[in-house]
Structure 1
Amino acid sequence: MGIMFKGMRKIVSSSPHHLIPRKVKFDWHATPIDWIKGEPFASHFINAIHLMFPAGELWMCRMINRAIPYLDDPKLIEDARAFIRQEAMHARSHSSAVDEHLKAYGLYPDEYQQRVNKLFEEILMDEPFGVRLPKPLQKEWLIFRLGCMAVFEHIACVLGQYALDHEKWEEVADPVMLDLLRWHGAEEVEHRSVVFDIYHGVGGGYVGRYMCTGLVLAAVTVLWTQGATEILRKHPDIKVDPSIAHGWFSQQWRRATSLGLLPTLPWVAGKMLGYFSPFYNPIHEGSTEQALAYLETSVGYLATQKPVPAAVPFVDQTVQA
């Protein structure tokens, strides 16, 4: 468990095992435009993560690299480096879904993607809006960003566990997209403690974490709904204005949740409440055993593994006919 004391603070890794970076490969050629059969809203509401995650995950990799020099627990440093490798693979995999799925069907919203990229590649970098911060503020700015990452990682863990548990998708979902979501979700569950531990290891505390939570929830809500709207706006079968200001969006949301295709808002809110507790520790969220069990069977992961050569029977050449 992470140990946090005022004045005399020693933060150690909470992860119960050694994290494993995995390569994956997904073949999108047979994935239909609506990967949840007959459900464009649910399909593309989830597809919005392909637009948000690549830039966000590469940004997190950069921030963790900045934080490593402040850490002194060897296991936590090992966790941090493995986390970077896992997140980099997440970014590449969601980028492949953009390039080979969304773009293939003409659903890619260029302007929205540019806004997302600007957020992570300019505004949230070391010099926000190009402004060089005074040296005393540089570490505080890093701690703030790590605090925001810790909130996002909690959300990712909760949704990752949802993907692992949710059997309804198996009846209606494209198996390739479902495997991407479950593989990614399982790794989020696997490394759920890393950023939280690093945030506290660098000097973050409960008050800062509390403040970051509201900002991240607002930002994720806006980015996610805007991304889904922009994809749906390009969908050939959507003839209405899909923006959230109009009734169609909320109507479709209620329909999708009633069918069990998306989590309900009360469920999400309930999962966020625990994060506000000063005694919160992500190790109590999700199941490491379930996550690791899925990761060993993921088709995308197995596609990158070299097949084990078949055993060749031994023939004793000295035996005479």
Structure 2
Amino acid sequence: MNSADISRSITISPRDQHFAFSTIKERDWLGGDPFRSLVFNGLSITFPAGERFFIRSVKAFRGDIRNETLQSQAGAFMAQEAMHTREHVRYNQRLEEHGCRASMLHEETEARFEWAQTRYSDIEHLAATCALEHFTAILAEELLSKPDLLADARREYRDIWLWHAIEESEHKGVAFDVYQEVMQGKGYWLRVRTMLIVTVLFLQHMGRIFTVLLQDIGQNRSMSARLRLNWALWGKPGLFRKVMLNWAAYFKPGFHPWDHDNRTKLKEAEQFLVYAA
């Protein structure tokens, strides 16, 4: 079975989960480590604006999808992303209650996506969605294949990241398949050019978010704190390093998100989440 066939065979199941963040008193929920917690918190801040952008980008081409399976998958993709948005809004509200300027950073993120929405065409929005979905798919794969990354996390936070990773993996081919269908297989140069632009903007914006979050925990002036954060990002566990190591696969002319078949990991993680619920 080739990658495109695997993509069409996947059942995308929106799971309407709710997480009890209001019960958590600790700010540093990941093993008491402020820097590992901060990495995930920074990513969470970007999700509501990003996932609304993804929904709009795919929805713009719903009428152009001729394949019935892909049409159904696109609807499930949007449902999953809407639920992710809702839960990460609640997650980020809890960050605000812990003294992090999550609302301000969300507004800045929203402004970036709104700028892109008015500046570029619908097909460029979809290409950007494909690029960002590649980042989330790689991050999801790390979380699903390395359970020790969240082993000492508070249960509510561990579960939202596991839930999110399962669904991001499940729908990782949808935006790409919509793009391929709309472009009739001729969109390679737009796809890779967009990835280069998105990568620069993503890393720049995450740098801004991490700087503010360090300020919020009173660590921005500490060289030691910056080194510890960079170690969490690029050393160990090195989430950004691992993402960037797999980033280059996107530039292969015949690339498809399901070239990396992680269906077994999905089943294992789904079972773990059910038992942990």
Partner residue, 1:166: 146
Q: Residue 143 in 1 paired to residue 135 in 2?
A: no
Distance 1:252 1:201 in 2: 41
Which structure: greater helix fraction? 2
Shift of 1:150: 0.6
Distance 1:210 1:256, change over 3 A: closer
Partner residue, 1:133: none
Distance 2:209 2:221 in 1: 14
Partner residue, 1:191: 171
Q: Residue 59 in 1 paired to residue 53 in 2?
A: yes
In structure 1, stretches of 5+ residues that fail to align are 4-11, 129-139, 303-321
Distance 1:69 1:105, change over 3 A: same
What per-residue deviation string (whole Å, max 9, x for no partner) do you get for residues 62-112 of structure 1? 12111111111111111110100000011111111011x202211124432
Q: CA RMSD, aligned part only?
A: 2.5
Task: Say how many residue pairs are matched.
Answer: 273
Q: After TM superposition, which residue ranges in structure 1, 4 or more long, deviate above 4 angstroms?
A: 255-258, 299-302
The 3-state SS of whatever aligns with 1:197 is helix
- Written as runs of structure 1 = structure 2, the 5 A alignment for 1:280-291 is 280-291=255-266
Distance 1:220 1:239 in 2: 23
TM-score (norm 2): 0.89
**Letter of the 1:272 counterpart:** W
Partner residue, 1:115: 108
Q: Residue 16 in 1 paired to residue 9 in 2?
A: yes
Shift of 1:38: 3.3
Q: Residue 261 in 1 paired to residue 237 in 2?
A: yes
Contact 1:37 1:172 in 2 (8 A): yes
Contact 1:98 1:108 in 2 (8 A): no
Distance 1:300 1:57 in 2: 27
Distance 1:30 1:149 in 2: 33
Contact 1:24 1:300 in 2 (8 A): no
Distance 1:170 1:288 in 2: 20
Shift of 1:144: 1.0
Distance 1:143 1:30, change over 3 A: same
- Written as runs of structure 1 = structure 2, the 5 A alignment for 1:227-238 is 227-235=209-217, 238=218
Distance 1:177 1:262, change over 3 A: farther
In structure 2, stretches of 5+ residues that fail to align are none
What per-residue deviation string (whole Å, max 9, x for no partner) do you get for residues 227-272 of structure 1? 122122111xx34427xxx6742443226654x333262x333201
Distance 1:25 1:206, change over 3 A: same
Distance 1:90 1:252 in 2: 26
Contact 1:36 1:42 in 2 (8 A): yes
Contact 2:233 2:240 in 1 (8 A): no
TM-score (norm 1): 0.77
Name which one, 1 or 2, has greater alpha-carbon Rg.
Answer: 1
The 3-state SS of whatever aligns with 1:32 is coil
Distance 2:67 2:233 in 1: 45
Distance 1:147 1:44 in 2: 29
Q: Residue 33 in 1 paired to residue 27 in 2?
A: yes
Contact 1:161 1:286 in 2 (8 A): no
